[in-house]
Amino acid sequence: MGKTFKKPEALTDEHTHYCPGCTHGVIHRLVAEVIDELGIRGRTVGISPVGCAVLAYNYFSFDFQEAAHGRAPAMATGIKRVRPDLIVFTYQGDGDLASIGMGEIIHAANRGEKFTTIFVNNAVYGMTGGQMAPTTMPGQRTTTCPLGRNVEEVGMPIKMAELLSSLETRGYITRQTVIKPKYIIKAKEAIKKAFTYQLEGRCFSLVELVSTCPTNWGLTPVEAVKWAEETLLPYYKLGEYKTPE
């Protein structure tokens, strides 16, 4: 008999709407497991803006808010300041956080707001049609750059973990991935550390998670994992970029 895995209490029984090979479901599971293990489900509030995870509130069994595109950090700031006893996190994609929400996340991190951000980086706009994102790789084809990202015209992909870690304000910034089991273990450790820092009232925290988007990449789920490992990870290097110690 193989080992059976119990569904975390922080997850609902809702059937997934995500595409085959999408890693949002894996990330949801990790967040839910950490919340259960820390015993904070009763006082956790998640915030989801526009993007593939706009329906994330269907999958979690605790309070959730929905924010305008890119504005989740502003909403998180308000909730956390009014109710510092709550555990608050934003769940944002790269099109949301690194584009329209760039100003929001930089200033929230620079102010040292005591909430956590789960940042899903799949190098493309997922929900809105597969357009080029700030994180799209050089030469990567999207619906708005069918010949591939031309860095002479639009610049290089933005590395959010490195950018935020350059701020002088104390924080916890890390980049992990969930494309294979060996990476998932470290990703969960990072998520748990981020929530723990918030529980201790220590700092702003952001966990960037390199993810796949087979549908908008035009690849099978297996091909997407291979492409992510061979193309994304050499550029978006994994590791802890800043700790509050």
DSSP line for 21-36: T-SHHHHHHHHHHHHH
Q: Which residues of the chain have pLDDT under 50?
A: 1
pLDDT of 222 reads 97
Is pTM beyond 0.75? Reply is: yes
pLDDT of 195 reads 98
pLDDT of 81 reads 98
48 within 8 A of 66, measured Cβ to Cβ = yes
Residue 21 one-letter amino acid: G
Q: What is the CA radius of gyration of the chain?
A: 17
pLDDT of 4 reads 64
Residues 6+ apart with CB under 8 A from 78: none
End-to-end CA gap in the chain: 44
What is the second-level CATH architecture of the domain 24-242? 3-Layer(aba) Sandwich (3.40)
Task: Name the residue with tokens 């291979």.
Answer: 226
pLDDT of 130 reads 81
DSSP state, residue 104: H
157 within 8 A of 123, measured Cβ to Cβ = yes
Distance CA 218, CA 115 (A): 35
pLDDT of 129 reads 84
